[in-house]
Amino acid sequence: MAVRASGQEVTIRGTVFNMYKTHPLQSVSVVSNSGRGTTTDENGNYAIRVNESDSLSFSYLGRATQMFAVKDMNNTTGFDIALHVSPTVLNEVRVAPRNYHMDSLQNRRDYQKSFDYKKPGFALTSPGMGLGVGLDLDALIGMLKFKEIRRAKAFQSRLIEDEEDKFVDHRFSRYIVKKVTHLDGTMLDSFMVAFRPSYHFAKTANDYDFLDYIKLAYEEFQLGLEKPDRKEN
Largest CA distance in the chain: 89
**pLDDT class of 60 with cuts at 50, 70, 90:** confident
Q: Which of 7-11, 101-105, 108-112, 131-135 holds the top average pLDDT?
A: 7-11
HSE (side-chain half, CA atoms, 13 Å) at 8: 4
**pLDDT class of 227 with cuts at 50, 70, 90:** low
Displacement of CA 199 from its chain's centroid (Å): 9
- Given a cut of 50, is residue 214 above it in pLDDT? yes
pLDDT at residue 196, rounded to an integer: 93
* Measured distance CA(209)–CA(173) in Å, rounded: 15
- Which residue has better confidence, 32 or 115? 32
Tell me the pLDDT of the chain averaged across its residues.
Answer: 75
Burial class (CB in 10 A: 0-12, 13-18, 19+), 70: buried
Please state the rounded mean pLDDT for residues 211-222.
89
> What residue spans define the domains of the chain?
2-91, 100-226
Q: Are 51 and 8 in contact, with CB atoms under 8 Å apart? A: yes
pTM of the model: 0.40
- Given a cut of 80, is residue 200 above it in pLDDT? yes
Please state the rounded mean pLDDT for residues 48-66.
88
Q: Which of 1-10, 72-81, 169-178 has the weakest average pLDDT?
A: 1-10
- Given a cut of 80, is residue 93 above it in pLDDT? no
pLDDT at residue 193, rounded to an integer: 93
Please state the rounded mean pLDDT for residues 203-210.
85
Please state the rounded mean pLDDT for residues 10-33.
89
- Given a cut of 70, is residue 133 above it in pLDDT? no
Please state the rounded mean pLDDT for residues 62-86.
82
Kindly state which CATH superfamily the domain 2-91 is placed in. Carboxypeptidase-like, regulatory domain (2.60.40.1120)
Q: Which residues contact 193 (CB under 8 A, 6 or more apart)?
A: none
Distances (CA, A) of 144 to 60, 127, 140, 157, 207: 58, 22, 6, 21, 48
- Which residue has better confidence, 20 or 228? 20
- Given a cut of 70, is residue 17 above it in pLDDT? yes
